[in-house]
Chains A and B, each alone.
Chain A
């Protein structure tokens, strides 16, 4: 790739970006759904963007002692303290707690964040009721965020009651 190719590519990107605003809005009848394609403990997964209130990269996580095996620590997101859980451990992997690079804040409970190591890309696909999303020939199980939140809360409730 020479200097001319780079310049042409930048120009293409600029033209495409500008053209988007020059065209009329698309009125597609097809329902679409946004997913975050991630890797957890080396396995590909997909998470619905709608399940999260925010996604942050390279957060500073302060480790705190906890009886929960999934809790990594706490982090500050938009001025609020959230508890950060290891998505790998929540999915049943015996993975180390460190190495989290991304935190996705759950929409259903804005004090619970899921930490994971690799965010592959954003994907907008047609809505599906399947529990597995197939993209680029790779089958990715769709993470049931609501179930995970419920599990954390049930555990917290059990601890409080205990």
Chain B
């Protein structure tokens, strides 16, 4: 029997073998009972047949007794046994016939008994009638014919034969019953012995295997209980740490929730500011458009100024040219005066008055030259101023052009700003919505974390309970192991 068999299979096999033996024993007993019952029926039948035969003989004797009493006394009262036995004799014959109907030999004897009984009864009836009619002697004459006696003897012989057969059958049935009972007894004893042997062997095998496997299982349970104890301790510790962490996470999530609400409020403010900014950007865009128009007008005015300044520069150049001519004339006059002075000095006293004139002309030329230089300086200053103004104006034109371009850029930037502000406003609203959703989600997470914390506490309690259960299991396994080992020894 392999170790792979379970206790249930082993026990079932033991019980099956025991039940099989019991079934065999029961079947044999049943069969034996059937045989006994059949024998009992046969015995009863035989006794009933014997009883019928004895009754028949008894009734025949009663009829003879009544006939003899009447014959001797002549009194009718003595006929009462005779008259009361006539019908029962026929009924008994019929009863016996029904009992031996399945036995041809007995039935044949009954058929042979019937005419003898009838003949006897007829002889009795004749003697009784003769006694009444002719008296005692006449009746005695009939008796002395021995017909009645012979019929009666034949009946007795046949009945004896029938009784003998019935008794032989009765003996045979008794022997059969005894043999069957003995066989049943033997079978029951052997079956009980075999069943006891099977039960003992099965009990020994199951107990040995149970002890071994229960010992192993108990050791495994004790080891598992120890591991479970350690795991429960560790789980309890982990549950406490997890509970602490869950509390920290819950605190952090509450802070996060507060931060999310602040973000949502800030997003609302940003959205409002973005809307205000969008309005300001639109106003700025319109202002920039007007400023761009003004810049265009300024550019046209500056272009006109540049044209006028260029004309002024040309005219100052013309004035400079004229001034050069005047200066040239002054220089020539001066040289002429100097030469006149030289000539006057060479002329002696006669040239003195001429020298005076020459001096005056030279002085006038000097003054004209000085004035010319001064005017030239002024003209140069004016030309420089004009050039500076033209350059400044051209720079202004360039600045205006640049400003116009920058205004275009500013306009584009304002348009872009308006678009971006719109996008920002939309993004702020989305942020606000997302933050609200996030806050809702964080609240749900907070609730979930609270549930986790609660579950962790429950887990900690469960771990403690598991620890207690593991301890109890360990003690129980030790006790069971001690019990098994004690029983095994």
- Cβ–Cβ contact A57 & B331, under 8 A: yes
Q: Which residues of B contact A17 (CB under 8 A)?
A: 360, 363-364
- Cβ–Cβ contact B339 & A55, under 8 A: yes
Q: Which residues of A contact B367 (CB under 8 A)?
A: 13, 16
Chain B 351-369 per-residue mask, 1 if CB under 8 angstroms from chain A, else 0: 0010011011011101110
Chain A CB within 8 A of B375 CB: yes
A49's contact among B341, B357, B363, B366, by CB below 8 Å, is which?
B341
For residue B330, give the distance in angstroms from its CB to the closest CB of chain A: 11
Q: Could you tell me the distance between the alpha carbons of A122 and B334 in the complex, rounded to whole angstroms? A: 9
Q: Which residues of A contact B362 (CB under 8 A)?
A: 122
Main secondary structure of the interface of B (DSSP, over half): helix
Chain B CB within 8 A of A4 CB: no
Which residue of the partner chain B has the closest CB to A102? B335
- Cβ–Cβ contact B378 & A122, under 8 A: no
Q: Could you tell me the distance between the alpha carbons of A154 and B331 in the complex, rounded to whole angstroms? A: 34
B366's contact among A21, A56, A122, by CB below 8 Å, is which?
A122
Q: Residue among A16, A25, A52, A122 with the most chain B CB within 10 A? A: A122
Give the residues from 5 to 22 in chain A that come closer than 8 angstroms, CB to CB, to chain B: 6, 9, 13, 16-17, 20-21
Q: Could you tell me the distance between the alpha carbons of A20 and B346 in the complex, rounded to whole angstroms? A: 22
Chain A CB within 8 A of B371 CB: yes
Q: Which residues of A contact B483 (CB under 8 A)?
A: none
For the complex, count residues of B whose C-beta is within 8 A of A.
26
Q: Which residues of B contact A36 (CB under 8 A)?
A: 338
Chain A CB within 8 A of B332 CB: yes
Q: Which residues of B contact A124 (CB under 8 A)?
A: 359
Chain B 335-350 per-residue mask, 1 if CB under 8 angstroms from chain A, else 0: 1011101100110000
A55's contact among B335, B346, B357, B378, by CB below 8 Å, is which?
B335
Which residue of the partner chain A has the closest CB to B370? A121
Known A-B contacts A21-B360, A25-B356, A49-B342; the reply to A9 vs B371 at CB < 8 A is: yes
- Cβ–Cβ contact B342 & A1, under 8 A: no
Give the residues from 212 to 233 in chain B that come closer than 8 angstroms, CB to CB, to chain A: none
Q: Which residues of B contact A54 (CB under 8 A)?
A: 339, 342
Chain A CB within 8 A of B171 CB: no
Give the residues from 91 to 121 in chain A that come closer than 8 angstroms, CB to CB, to chain B: 121
Chain A CB within 8 A of B374 CB: yes
Q: Could you tell me the distance between the alpha carbons of A123 and B5 in the complex, rounded to whole angstroms? A: 153
- Cβ–Cβ contact B338 & A122, under 8 A: yes
Q: Residue among B339, B346, B357, B359 with the most chain A CB within 10 A? A: B339
B368's contact among A13, A25, A50, by CB below 8 Å, is which?
A13
Q: Which residues of B contact A16 (CB under 8 A)?
A: 363-364, 367
Q: Could you tell me the distance between the alpha carbons of A25 and B353 in the complex, rounded to whole angstroms? A: 9
Number of residue pairs across A and B with beta carbons under 8 Å? 51
- Cβ–Cβ contact B338 & A49, under 8 A: yes
Give the residues from 266 to 283 in chain B that come closer than 8 angstroms, CB to CB, to chain A: none
- Cβ–Cβ contact B356 & A55, under 8 A: no
Q: Could you tell me the distance between the alpha carbons of A50 and B355 in the complex, rounded to whole angstroms? A: 13
Q: Could you tell me the distance between the alpha carbons of A56 and B339 in the complex, rounded to whole angstroms? A: 8
Q: Which residues of B contact A25 (CB under 8 A)?
A: 353, 356
Which residue of the partner chain A has the closest CB to B362? A122
For residue A85, give the distance in angstroms from its CB to the closest CB of chain B: 19
For residue B470, give the distance in angstroms from its CB to the closest CB of chain A: 119
- Cβ–Cβ contact B364 & A13, under 8 A: yes
Q: Which residues of B contact A53 (CB under 8 A)?
A: 342, 346
Give the residues from 357 to 394 in chain B that come closer than 8 angstroms, CB to CB, to chain A: 357, 359-360, 362-364, 366-368, 371, 374-375, 378
For residue A154, give the distance in angstroms from its CB to the closest CB of chain B: 26
Chain A 55-79 per-residue mask, 1 if CB under 8 angstroms from chain B, else 0: 1110000000000000000000000
Q: Could you tell me the distance between the alpha carbons of A82 and B366 in the complex, rounded to whole angstroms? A: 28
Which residue of the partner chain A has the closest CB to B360? A20
Q: Which residues of B contact A122 (CB under 8 A)?
A: 334, 337-338, 341, 362, 366
Q: Could you tell me the distance between the alpha carbons of A20 and B337 in the complex, rounded to whole angstroms? A: 15
Chain A 5-48 per-residue mask, 1 if CB under 8 angstroms from chain B, else 0: 01001000100110011000100000000101000000000000
Q: Could you tell me the distance between the alpha carbons of A52 and B346 in the complex, rounded to whole angstroms? A: 11
For residue A19, give the distance in angstroms from its CB to the closest CB of chain B: 10
Q: Could you tell me the distance between the alpha carbons of A53 and B341 in the complex, rounded to whole angstroms? A: 10
- Cβ–Cβ contact A1 & B356, under 8 A: no
Q: Could you tell me the distance between the alpha carbons of A72 and B181 in the complex, rounded to whole angstroms? A: 187
Which residue of the partner chain A has the closest CB to B345? A50
B335's contact among A1, A9, A21, A56, by CB below 8 Å, is which?
A56
- Cβ–Cβ contact B339 & A34, under 8 A: no
- Cβ–Cβ contact B356 & A20, under 8 A: yes
Q: Which residues of A contact B353 (CB under 8 A)?
A: 25
For residue B424, give the distance in angstroms from its CB to the closest CB of chain A: 62
- Cβ–Cβ contact A121 & B366, under 8 A: yes
Q: Could you tell me the distance between the alpha carbons of A44 and B166 in the complex, rounded to whole angstroms? A: 201
Q: Which residues of A contact B357 (CB under 8 A)?
A: 21
- Cβ–Cβ contact A1 & B375, under 8 A: yes
- Cβ–Cβ contact A1 & B374, under 8 A: yes
Q: Could you tell me the distance between the alpha carbons of A49 and B367 in the complex, rounded to whole angstroms? A: 20
Which residue of the partner chain A has the closest CB to B367? A13
Which residue of the partner chain B has the closest CB to A121? B366
Q: Could you tell me the distance between the alpha carbons of A20 and B363 in the complex, rounded to whole angstroms? A: 11
Q: Which residues of B contact A57 (CB under 8 A)?
A: 331-332, 335
- Cβ–Cβ contact B342 & A52, under 8 A: yes
Q: Which residues of B contact A52 (CB under 8 A)?
A: 342
Given A6-B375, A17-B364, A50-B345: 7 more A-B contacts, CB < 8 Å: A16-B367, A17-B360, A25-B353, A50-B342, A55-B335, A55-B342, A122-B366
The 8 closest A-B pairs by CB, nearest first: A20-B360, A57-B335, A17-B364, A55-B338, A13-B367, A54-B339, A55-B335, A122-B338
9 contacts between A and B (CB under 8 A): A21-B357, A36-B338, A49-B341, A49-B345, A55-B335, A56-B335, A57-B332, A122-B337, A124-B359
